[in-house]
Amino acid sequence: MPACDSCGTDVDEGATFCPNCGEPQDPNTRRKVIIGRVSYAFGFLLIVAGISLLPGNLGGVPIILGGIQLFPPSRQLLGRVFGRPPKVWANAVFSLVFVLIGVVLYFLL
């Protein structure tokens, strides 16, 4: 039995997470967890930035939508509509388009 890299607990061969500390054991799972956490962080930052623009300008609305788009559950919802979730880079580009529209609206209004 291999040991967990984080806490040293014995982990089954097929386990994807440590039963003791919850640390991902598969490199692909680790990558997905990190991408998910980074997506949430940037999404929250964009939402806060969009909300701070809202009282005086409507350019914050697309920025908020771009932040919501970065959340992994939003990506899964798009997968239900289109048959499969968009790739991570495509989701980021889609969010960036919303943010750019918001920035343009901010400077035009």
The secondary structure of 47-66 as a DSSP string is HHHHHHHTTT-TTHHHHHHH
pLDDT of residue 1: 63
CA angle 29, 86, 71 (to 5 degrees): 65
**pLDDT tens per residue, range 60-100:** 999 999 999 999 888 888 888 888 888 888 889 999 999 99
**pLDDT tens per residue, range 22-41:** 877 777 777 888 888 899 99
Q: Is the pTM of this model over 0.85?
A: no
